[in-house]
A and B are shown apart, each in its own frame.
Chain A
């Protein structure tokens, strides 16, 4: 009884939580391995092991394209947006200028407008862009990346500003005395010191972009230009919902692989970075 009050209940809570966490994932796994590949024949425990769903997915759909599109769009957009965000955070943290407070509050407020309701306007803008420069218009990586960069300044800027603030100012001052310029301070002192938060913010931005559905669904209509979210959603629409379920689950697992990998690799940083106030998008 003493053992239970001390450690036993901890194991009980942990085991229950793990069951809750793993249940749906196990279901996805067994549905992906299910040789029949339908929703109605999927069970919690794998009923058989076959890679049919994976081969059907890879050869029968544009999944490899979707995967490449998603990784490239999310990768480039999150890298660039983190860099832009870090630049702005540096200015907000280290420089004093008119409009600084207003700028910070404005960044917070603009987040609260449901941005996708601006899609009508965005759609009109992109129709013009597609006419003038088809290379950065609808159905292109660059168009999508530009669109996502519109949200580069925002929550992440706040997060990084908070972290920059924790680095003592004396460090910059002594560097200035030694002859460092502001770019030198930014690239050689601050960036290396806040690399954990950069890694976490980058990962969060990546997860957020790869999961983004609404804008991608409106702007990427062409079969081969779709992202994973749009493509996989299309697999389980309407009457295909039952038959394609195995393929959909196989796609889900493949989509998770890069994220889980980076996630396990960065686990140490993530606890540290998340408690500073990032939100999963």
Chain B
């Protein structure tokens, strides 16, 4: 090795032509480090502007750390590990830990912010118009995605900008950086505008139509002394309950707007104690296992059959068969899942057309489950075919010859010699395939979306995997429950981790880890 990209690893053994050859390496290194500094400087300006001093400190520390790491001859492993680890920490570990921590809170729709924010929201939402109150001229303005009200007082002519934090007077009309929505654009967002309210000291300013606004009085007011919300019209009182993060009336009525509190292990115990959830969770868990094992096993069996069939060297068209068989593997899987969904369509689907029948494949639990397994088989078997072909080639021919000499038939030889060897070679792969399918979100979401759903429970369908079930809890239409969803994702993590670890331990994969 005459060319060097950096100084020698062992300083005791300096290379004879070190200086001339390492010039290139040093050059590349200086350019890359210069790039790091340039990116850091670029990133620093917005941080300074926004006065994020902690972020700026972190940036400076990270840059200094990188410069030190790549300029010192020590810490060689870190030089190779740090680049990937930075991305891992920022975009995977931190979000995962954050999510895991929400499993111990009631974070979700109605429980997003602090108690103060909840009180403001409740007061603002209860604003009703007092007869004879001032009517303002209103323009709807936007900056990026954010909406705001531009309000002109008819008496003083004062122009103010109002958003969720309150009302601020401005000089110019419209204020710099904001654009006024046209009537068409505004009516397209009319729902947002109707819900929009600018809090004031006694109530809030709300829109009435798209060009008028009024200041109303809050009917519900917060009383800090008794820590409760009182409705001035009806006299009803909701008391703050800090354990569940909501205002609750004596008759059990709860205000929709609550705040985020820690709930300890409640989200975890809910899986067991809440009957509807417990039964749907168990059903989903069982089907998830059936699906993951069925997908992995089915694709492996079919793939193996094809690999064995194509193993004979005397066979013609082997190359052609092979290419045609693996084509599904090269097709974009997200698109093919949607195509399969439409092939199972009752009215115009290909399968019903070809067979001349009228079956609602995705409408009944059993057929829907069979359908998604069939789709998985189609998508996955070419991969197993390729893998088994590779593994079969690695089995020495002498072994098969020896069984022939011993008088074993081809089937016996396969069962006694090839299958065990194949399984040893492919077990790690089958385990990772299982883990992948256990959380195969696309396979369900893009075909059945978890359905069909039983009439009494729209949250857990017959083909729902835990992951699609959790997705619906977190982002579904019936109100987001991030805390509960995070708790279930921790369950998923534990199940997959335990299954994989146990299986890995039983295979040689474990030895490879530590080799």
Contact = CB atoms under 8 A, between A and B. Distances in A.
Contacts of A233: 334, 338, 446
Given A150-B90, A252-B339, A277-B429, A211 B333 contact: yes
A61 interface: no
Interface string A127-164: 00001110000000000001101111101010000100
B96 A279 contact: no
A116 interface: yes
A120 B321 CA distance: 46
Given A179-B8, A181-B5, A24 B77 contact: no
Contacts of B315: 7, 10-11
Contact of A252 (B7, B331, B394): B331
A260 B387 contact: no
B383 A180 contact: no
Contacts of B135: none
Contacts of B445: 214
A115 B96 contact: yes
Interface stretch (B221-229, B230-238, B252-260, B484-492): B484-492
Contacts of B95: 115, 118-119, 121-122, 125
A153 B380 CA distance: 24
A84 B83 contact: yes
A185 B2 CA distance: 11
B468 to A, nearest CB: 10
Interface string B92-120: 11111011001000000000000000000
Contact of A39 (B330, B342, B354, B389): B342
B383 A24 contact: no
Nearest to B103: A117
Contacts of A114: 439, 441, 467, 470, 489, 492-493
Interface size class on chain B is 35 or more
Given A7-B312, A91-B80, A97-B77, A14 B485 contact: no
Given A120-B102, A260-B327, A182 B390 contact: no
Contacts of A115: 92, 95-96
Q: Which of B4, B92, B348, B514 neighbours the largest number of chain A CB atoms within 10 Å of its CB?
A: B92
A6 B313 CA distance: 11
Interface in B331-367: 331-336, 338-340, 342-343, 345, 347-348, 350, 353-354
Nearest to B429: A277
A218 B449 CA distance: 17
Contact of B4 (A40, A133, A180, A281): A180
A184 to B, nearest CB: 5
B87 A150 contact: yes
Interface stretch (B15-23, B205-213, B239-247, B278-286): B15-23
A211 B429 CA distance: 21
Nearest to A203: B330
Contacts of A1: none
Nearest to B52: A132
Given A182-B6, A279-B429, A271 B91 contact: no
B433 A91 contact: no
A176 B445 CA distance: 53
Contact of A274 (B328, B387, B482): B387
B514 A101 contact: yes
Given A121-B94, A133-B46, A252-B331, A95 B347 contact: no
Contact of A117 (B8, B99, B350, B382): B99
B497 interface: yes
B46 A28 contact: no
B464 to A, nearest CB: 14
A117 B489 contact: yes
A20 interface: yes
Contacts of B309: 9-10, 13-14, 17
A263 B330 contact: yes
B513 A211 contact: no
Contacts of A152: 84, 87-88
B91 A117 contact: no
Contacts of B94: 121, 125
B76 A95 contact: yes
B6 A184 contact: yes
B25 A183 contact: yes
Interface string A263-277: 110010011101101
Interface in B468-515: 470-471, 474, 482, 485-486, 489, 492-493, 496-497, 500, 512-515
B180 interface: no
A113 interface: yes
A260 B334 CA distance: 15
A220 to B, nearest CB: 14
B5 A112 contact: no
B121 interface: no
A232 B439 contact: no
A42 interface: yes
B173 interface: no
Contact of B6 (A110, A121, A181): A181
Interface string B281-314: 0000000000000000000001001100110101
Interface string B378-391: 10111100110111
Interface string A246-271: 00110110011001100110010011
Interface string A24-50: 110110000000001110111000000
A87 B81 contact: yes
B14 to A, nearest CB: 7
B40 interface: no
Given A17-B306, A176-B13, A256-B331, A27 B84 contact: no
A180 B4 CA distance: 6
A149 B86 CA distance: 10
A228 B390 contact: no
A179 B350 contact: no
B9 interface: yes
Interface in A83-110: 84-85, 87-88, 90-91, 95, 97, 100-101, 103-105, 108-110
| 6 nearest CB pairs, A to B | A179-B15, A150-B91, A275-B390, A118-B95, A40-B348, A180-B1
Interface of A: 6-7, 9-11, 13-14, 17-18, 20-22, 24-25, 27-28, 38-40, 42-44, 84-85, 87-88, 90-91, 95, 97, 100-101, 103-105, 108-122, 125, 131-133, 146-147, 149-153, 155, 157, 162, 165, 175-189, 210-211, 213-214, 228-229, 232-233, 236, 241-242, 245, 248-249, 251-252, 255-256, 259-260, 263-264, 267, 270-272, 274-275, 277, 279-281
Interface of B: 1-10, 13-18, 22, 25, 43, 46-47, 50, 52, 76-77, 80-81, 83-85, 87-88, 90-96, 98-99, 102, 302, 305-306, 309-310, 312, 314-315, 317, 321, 323-336, 338-340, 342-343, 345, 347-348, 350, 353-354, 378, 380-383, 386-387, 389-391, 393-394, 425-426, 428-429, 432-433, 435-436, 439, 441-442, 445-446, 467, 470-471, 474, 482, 485-486, 489, 492-493, 496-497, 500, 512-515
19 contacts: A14-B321, A20-B378, A22-B327, A42-B350, A110-B93, A113-B489, A114-B470, A115-B95, A118-B92, A125-B94, A131-B50, A132-B52, A180-B1, A181-B25, A185-B1, A185-B9, A211-B333, A233-B338, A256-B332
